[in-house]
Structure 1
Amino acid sequence: MKPLLRLWYRHSPQLFISELLEKRWMEPIVPFILMCVVFLIFIVSIPGYTSLIQLQQLMRSFPEQAFVAMAMALSILSGGIDLSVAAVFAMANFIALYLLQVLGLPFPVAVLGTLLWGACIGAVNGGLIAYGKTRPFLTTIVVLIIVRAAYNKLTAAFALELASGYADSPVWDFVGVGLIWGIPVNMACLVVIGIVAHLYLTRIRSGVHIMAVGSSRKAARHAGINVKRSLFTTYVLAGMLASFAGLLYAARLNSAGTDTGVGWEINALAAAVVGGISLDGGRGTISRALMGAAIIFLLINGLVQLGTHGSLTTATIGFILLAAVGFNIKFVKNKGKILQKIYVSPSYVEFTPPASIARDSGSVFAENDRLKDVEAVALDRIEGPEDVILDQDDHLYTVNRNGSIIRFLAPDYQEREEFARIGGRPLGLALDRDKNILACVAGMGVYGVRPDRTVFKVAEQTNRTWNRLKDDSRLWLADDLDVAPDGKIYFSDATTRYDLSDWALDGFEGRGNGRLVCHDPATGKSRTILKNLAFPNGVCISHDGMAVLWASTWLCRIYRYWIAGERTGELEILVDNLPGYPDNINRASDGNYWLAFVGLRAPVYDLAMADPAFRSRMVKQIPPDEWLCPGLNYGCVIKFDDAGSVLESLWDPGAESHPTITSMREHKGYLYIGGLENNRIGRLKLPAADKEWTGWESYWGKKRRDGRKDQTAAAGEGGTHVARS
């Protein structure tokens, strides 16, 4: 029964659904499916609907409406609306015909004049809305009325000239009826301009600014974006898109009727909304607008071919528009709530009772007071020193909550200086052979600081797991790291589902969301070597350089992964069933290892880990401040050896001096202690420790001390060399 429970919760459908809802393409997938359904309905209903001639006719008739829909979508994405696009389209149709057929101007001049018309009307709209602060709806509807009236007057006045005119231009004819590899020219133009428009809104600064303005004008203004210029640009581009549609329409039909473009603004608005573009602005893409335009176009075209009355067709479009608006509002309002309720997907974890920590238990974990009166370094001069490290000159380095690496100068550590500013939230630290400080930075990856204080990026991504919906190529929560004898950097990415602000939710899940990653500086590439790990945390290279030790915080275990020798690639549990939640691991001068407990296990939470349904209900139904959580406010450090035996423990009962201990580092007879929530660094004298031993010498010195003998030998078969230079 239990194996089935583990299997069920490990591959829970809830996990799949939550990651599916999280995908950005989940919103456009709805209009895409609707477009396919509409197309299939008409394939079944209309004979010959998929013949080559019919498909070419559909492709030839669609682009003009799609361009008008793109113009409408662009204005909506900026937080406004442009109801004049259809009138601008109609007038552009007239202008193109007038310039070519009446005035006999060359084709390039006619194209330039037509686009200039759209830009001018867009400038009028944009000027009034951006600089005159008029309402987009009222402004563009007034422009619609004026332009439509002018169009009706002009087409009536020049009806004879337009009817008898002729454009002797092969290019004009090619644009109107030509094919490129069987695809109409206007359709090819739509594909190219659609791609350009998508890249513009997602990659080009001015386009990104338009999206930012649509999302929040106030936030965009505070970010330094010129809101007025962005709005003005939006309406100019919308006018040019509508004008280009009119140019293509003129080339295809060579006529200008009084009903040209009538009602197209409603179809364009319906296309934008059906495509999932928010009427509030800032949410949507050009591809969604094109899918919405395709849906509306196919519906109108199909209903006309089926002989449906025009009023019924209009009513159908109105009904679809109303339904799309309702769905859009409901989806946006409730998607976050749905995702919030189902995203946390607990797994089944079963524990056995750990060794007792009672003072009189006789256990190696028995509580004591060895950390209670530890010396406080940098008291109230540091915030959240999650990890600490010392260099060959005995200077002390630690991380600060504001994204800095802080250095306290030896010998008394009274002088404080900001050594470097990385940004983000630095966590684990390490020193490489070149004395660079390497740091894991939550949400950013792995960064380094050279001795001259220059900051450089080491890794920000790894290979993606292609069988997962969630893109895990980015490093989400790089936690701790260490450097192997060959210079490769091994680091933990604790979870790919949560960030530092809600990392505790990963504990409620207890599933394998993390991974161990190896970065090779020689190639500049990173690759995941172990995945599906339950919050891999502290990382340490073994004294002999042949294995990586890493802590699984939620499973209360220490694992060993062999990277050299005959056992290369093997993974084993080194220490199991710890009474606390392990964090960072570091070398000790006697050839053993120090391990920090970030929290203490409680029997009630162990029971909760074996009941995923209980944890799921807790997260859904109880306020966060009332959740049952692991006991994180308890300070402890232990020492263990290469055989997995725990040798001693050091406690701070009640965590008065050192709550949430996350790291410790031995250096010249002292143990330096850091903590994620602490305001100090602890320093404890170790009477039996080697007073000359340093971490850097242990890794990179001429002789490496492992507590038993000095050695400069090569380790492992196959020539895996671990000698230090």
Structure 2
Amino acid sequence: MSFSTDIVRWRYKLLPDHVIGEVLTKKWVDSAIPFLALTLLVLGLGPFVPHFFEWTTLGNLARQIAEFGLIVLGLAIVMISGGIDLSVGSVFALSVLMSLIGMNVEGWSAGTGLVAALAVGAFCGALNGFLVGYIRMRAFLTTLVTLIIFRSLFEIVFPQFSTAIVTNMSDSAVFEYLGTAQIGRLPVSFLITAVIAIGIHIVLSRTRYGWHLLAVGGARRSAYNAGINVRWTIFSAYVCCSTLVALSGFLFASRIGSAASDVGAGLELQALTATVLGGISLGGGRGTVSKATMGAVFVLLLSNSFLALAISGPGADLVLGLILVAAVFLDVRWVKNRHKVLRSVYISPAYARMPDSVSTDPRAGAMAPNDKLRDVGVIGLGILEGAEDVIFDRDDNLYTGSRHGDILRWFPPDYQRWEVLAHIGGSPLGMAFDRHGHLNICVAGMGLYQVEMNGTVHRLTAETNRSLLSIIDDSNMKLADDLDIAPDGSIYFSEATTRFEMHDWYSDALESRGNGRIIRYEPKTRKTRTVLKNLVFPNGICMSYDDQSLLFAESWACRISRYYFDGPKKGRVEVVIPNLPGYPDNINRASDGTYWLALMGMRTPALDLSLEMPGFRKRMSRRCSEDAWLMPNLNTGCVLKFNEQGEVLESYWDQGGQKHPMITSMREHKGVLYLCGIFNNRMGTYRLQGADPSFCGVDSYWGHRS
């Protein structure tokens, strides 16, 4: 190996490029951007703005956050639902006016004044919600019109009460308490807003209504098809928004005790800037309370700093407008290109050097290509779709899965009759019977499941222990693949990759990184733990005859290994076959004490060479469409028989790929080898010469039925 090759190998081993992509997939990344902007703002303005970090300044800021934060939270709810509300400034002005008329002029109690202010806000929100949600008018134009209407009402009513408002004061101690009191160093109004913000966070992230808001904002047609009342959801979002704005107006009135004719003017610009800058998507369906709050704090800090630095109002509005334009541009571009950006950085190929494969030369003996599988029998032609594995019970019934998420049971002797035993969903992959006759199944994207013979389905596990140093949450299972059961009932199963879903298997092949693991589930304690990790697409699992170890396949590494889970070698891993000519899939027992192995495809020189050039594969993933990538050749597969010493004893091929171009599993049963392929529309049968005509795989594990 040359020095330059060593450099490449160590560079991709020591610098984990995939970490960047994993970080960008985290939900908190969207919050990190406004947090970083807020931090830079504080660091940039702190040294120049007088009294920036004094308690008096911070206390005043907290009161403003209490009022402005409610407006931003209300607008965020509307934007998450896919709408927009430009009338928040006018609703705020009307609410302040109603609060001051009731408290200063009419002498109402604080409770009555609050109810009146909230009623004004709810009415304005209901009008907006009715026009946008039920009449289905455009939100932007509708709320622009209501902005003008509500502002006009304020300007008509305010002059009639302005003198009385200024010359009178409220007699309510509660009203005064809300505006001036503190608990510790925190204003009461700030604590009220904090409690409301926590409640909104819980609603958005933990309740059905919050999920409906996000669904409606993300895709209204899909939400409607899913049974969500879209019109009511939109209507209620506008009511919630204006009600929160009205509460903000009431708190503002209690703090100031008066109002000017320009109250609320320009507030919609500030609120919209705060929400967009905080990361609330203009397209809807995306946003959190924390991001809206950070946006509100950013805008208030900037506005207050402009006042402290004697920057004129038009100048401040100009800066806010420019910030809003920049935030909208970034939001639109990020939403449009987020998937492309993540895709370009998420896939991070590793360096891998494949050993020379076992020879398939026509003179190579057991591995010589042949056409033994060309004339196999056929089961389920046109009925089976995506049957990845096959298994038999003691009554000769045949079981397999389908890409529709069904478990099918086929009846002997000719296996022409069939029924749906159970519907699981997902993609059923590897299967194994336990001691009690229950069928245990790996389901891609869902975990480990169990089906009783009456069709009852149980989920055994969908989570395992999370890795301490993992950035992504690898406790959830993405691609549970194949399984087998130890004598004590423990279920060992492979998870092919923790980074990609089943439909993205080719991305994992391109990476050829140790993304997979083997997991153990203990039925007695119902505990799940990872026993081996950093495996290269671990696939087939098969218990050895010694009852102390298991054989497992690593597809992209083209090798078979043995893991000892008990006995004197407990915890040790030994390579059994290091250099297969193809990509191994399922492993199952043979009647003569050896093992069957499916090769789902064959290695190619081009792909083997590219594994030593991770930079080339990285560029390919960025610049080429997925259908132009170098991928494993899955057009030619075969079945091998091997022993525990790693010797290949026999091979069975279909070189033309007429019946079984891809083979993912095989199972020997009573002298016949049954063949499956996840991309095939049939199952094959091949009669074995000299095989035990009474062999049943279940009996080889649990003994003959008494």
SS at match of 2:443: strand
Q: In structure 2, do the counterparts of structure 1 residues 122 and 547 end up closer, same or farther at CA, with 3 Å as the change threshold?
A: same
Q: 3-state DSSP class of the match of 2:583?
A: strand
From 301, 323, 327, the equivalent of 1:320 is 323
- Is contact 1:397–1:406 with CA below 8 Å preserved after alignment? yes
DSSP-derived class of the 2:361 partner: coil
Contact 2:540 2:586 in 1 (8 A): yes
User: For residues 606 and 138 of structure 2, what CA distance do their matches in structure 1 show?
Assistant: 60
- Equivalent in the alignment of 2:207: 204
Change (3 A) 1:307 1:623: closer
Q: Any idea what the Cα deviations from partners look like across 1:483-510, whole Å, max 9, x if unmatched? A: 1222221111111222121211211111
CA positional deviation for 1:234: 1.0
Pick aligned residue for 2:667 from 641, 665, 668: 665
Deviates more, 1:522-531 or 1:408-417: 522-531
Partner of 2:21: 18
Say if 1:84 and 1:265, in contact at 8 Å, map to a contact too. yes
DSSP-derived class of the 1:428 partner: strand
Residue 219 (structure 1) aligns with:
222
From 438, 458, 461, the counterpart of 1:459 = 461
Which of 249, 252, 264 lines up with 2:267 in the alignment? Answer: 264
1:337-373, Cα deviation, whole Å (9 max, x unpaired): 33333332211111232122122233x2112333222
Q: What does 1:431-442 align with in structure 2 at a 5 Å threshold?
A: 431-442=433-444
Instruction: Find out whether 1:162 has 2:162 as its counterpart.
Output: no
Q: Decide whether the 8 Å contact of 2:81 with 2:284 is kept in 1.
A: yes
Residue in 1 that maps onto 2:196: 193
1:110-509 alignment, distance < 5 Å? 110-362=113-365, 364-509=366-511
The residue identity in structure 1 corresponding to 2:543 is I
Letter in 2 for 1:148: R
**Residue-by-residue CA offset, 1:182-233 (whole Å, 9 max, x unaligned):** 3222211222212222222233222222222222222222222222111111
- Counterpart in the other structure of 2:557: 555
Q: CA deviation at 1:559?
A: 1.4
Name the CA distance, whole Å, in 1 between partners of 2:329 and 2:416.
63
Give the equivalent residue in structure 1 for 2:585. Answer: 583
Residues of 1 paired with 2:106 and 2:701: CA distance? 83
- Residue aligned with 1:392, SS: coil
1:683 and 2:688 are equivalent in the alignment:
no
Counterpart for residue 710 of structure 1: none
CA distance in 1, matches of 2:278, 2:255: 27
Give the CA deviation at 1:404.
Answer: 0.4
Query: Residue 610 of structure 2 corresponds to which residue in structure 1?
Result: 608
Aligned to 1:618: 620
2:619 and 2:229 map into 1 onto residues whose CA distance is 47
Matched position secondary structure for 2:588: strand
The aligned counterpart of 2:37 is 34
Amino acid at match of 2:488: D
State the alpha-carbon separation in 1 of the partners of residues 530 and 116 from structure 2: 57
Q: Give the direction of change, closer, same or farther, for the CA distance of 1:375–1:186 in structure 2 (3 Å limit).
A: same
- Give the residue type in structure 2 aligned to 1:429: M
Q: 1:97 to 1:123 in 2, by over 3 A?
A: same
Offset at 1:541? 1.8
SS in structure 2 at match of 1:654: coil
Task: Output the amino acid matched with 1:293.
Answer: A
Structure 1 stretch displaced more, 160-169 or 657-666: 160-169
Gaps of 5+ in 2: none
1:520 Cα deviation from its structure 2 partner: 2.0
Amino acid at match of 2:509: G
Q: Within 5 Å, which residues of 2 pair with 1:689-700? A: 689-700=691-702
For the 8 Å contact 1:563–1:569, the answer to whether it is kept is: yes
Distance 1:192 1:552, change over 3 A: same
8 Å CA contact 2:421–2:453 kept in 1: the answer is: no
2:471 is paired with a residue whose SS is coil
Kindly state the Cα deviation for residue 127 of structure 1 after the two structures are TM-superposed. Answer: 0.8
Match of 1:533 in 2: 535
Q: Is the 8 A contact 2:61 2:300 kept in 1?
A: no
Q: Which amino acid aligns with 1:119?
A: A
User: 1:548 touches 1:562 (CA, 8 Å); kept in 2?
Assistant: yes
* Aligned pairs, number: 703
Deviation at 1:13, TM superposition (A): 5.2
- Report the AA paired with residue 317 of structure 2: T
* Amino acid across the alignment from 1:340: R
d(CA) in 1 for partners of 2:144, 2:29: 34
Contact 1:155 1:256 in 2 (8 A): no
Deviation digits for residues 130-183 of structure 1 (CA, Å, limit 9, x no counterpart): 222222222222222222222233332223433344444443333222223432
Q: Structure 1 residues 33 and 578, CA, compared in 2 at 3 Å: closer, same or farther?
A: same
1:246 to partner: Cα distance: 0.8
Aligned to 1:713: none
Moved more, 467-476 or 238-247: 467-476
Q: How many angstroms does 1:3 deviate by?
A: 4.5
Percent identical: 45
Query: Residues 68 and 245 of structure 1 are in contact (CA less than 8 Å); yes or no, is this contact kept in structure 2?
Result: yes
CA–CA separation in structure 1 for the residues paired with 2:690 and 2:196: 74
Deviations 1:274-298 (A, max 9, x none): 1122222223223222211111110
1:388 Cα shift?
0.3
Q: What are the ranges of 5 or more consecutive residues in structure 1 without an aligned counterpart?
A: 704-724
Deviations 1:371-428 (A, max 9, x none): 2222222222211210001111110000111110011012221111111110111111
Offset at residue 12 of structure 1 (A): 4.2
User: Is 2:403–2:427's contact at 8 Å kept on the other side of the alignment?
Assistant: yes
Asked if the contact 1:12–1:345 (Cα under 8 Å) also holds between the matched residues in 2, the reply is no
User: Distance between the aligned counterparts of 1:113 and 1:294, measured in 2?
Assistant: 28
Kept in 1: contact 2:277–2:295 (CA 8 A): yes
Which moves more between the two structures, 298-307 or 633-642? 633-642
Q: CA deviation at 1:122?
A: 0.6
Superimposed CA distance per residue, residues 543-562 of structure 1 (whole angstroms, 9 cap, x where no aligned partner): 22211221000011111111
In structure 1, C-alpha distance between the alignment counterparts of 2:282 and 2:220, rounded to whole Å: 15
Give SS of 1:247's match. helix
Q: 1:304 to 1:500 in 2, by over 3 A?
A: same
Classify 1:247/1:466 alpha carbon distance in 2 versus 1 (closer, same or farther; 3 Å): farther
Secondary structure at 2:227 match in 1 = coil
Q: Deviations over 1:52-97 (max 9, x none)?
A: 3322221122221111112222222222211111111122122223
Shift of 1:26: 2.0
Residue of 80, 83, 107 corresponding to 1:80: 83
In structure 2, give the amino acid aligned to 1:333: K
Structure 2 counterpart of 1:54:
57
Partners of 1:449 and 1:471 in 2: how far apart?
Answer: 28
For 1:239 and 1:621, the matched residues in 2 are separated by 48
User: Is residue 633–residue 654 contact of structure 1 (8 Å, CA) maintained in 2?
Assistant: no
Shift of 1:47: 4.2
Contact 1:348 1:612 in 2 (8 A): yes
Q: Greater CA deviation, 371-380 or 619-628?
A: 619-628
- CA RMSD, aligned part only? 2.0
| 8 Å contact from structure 2 (residues 50, 308) kept in 1 | no
> What TM-score comes out, normalization by structure 2 length?
0.95
Query: 1:569: Cα distance to partner?
Result: 1.4
- Counterpart of 2:139, as a letter, is P
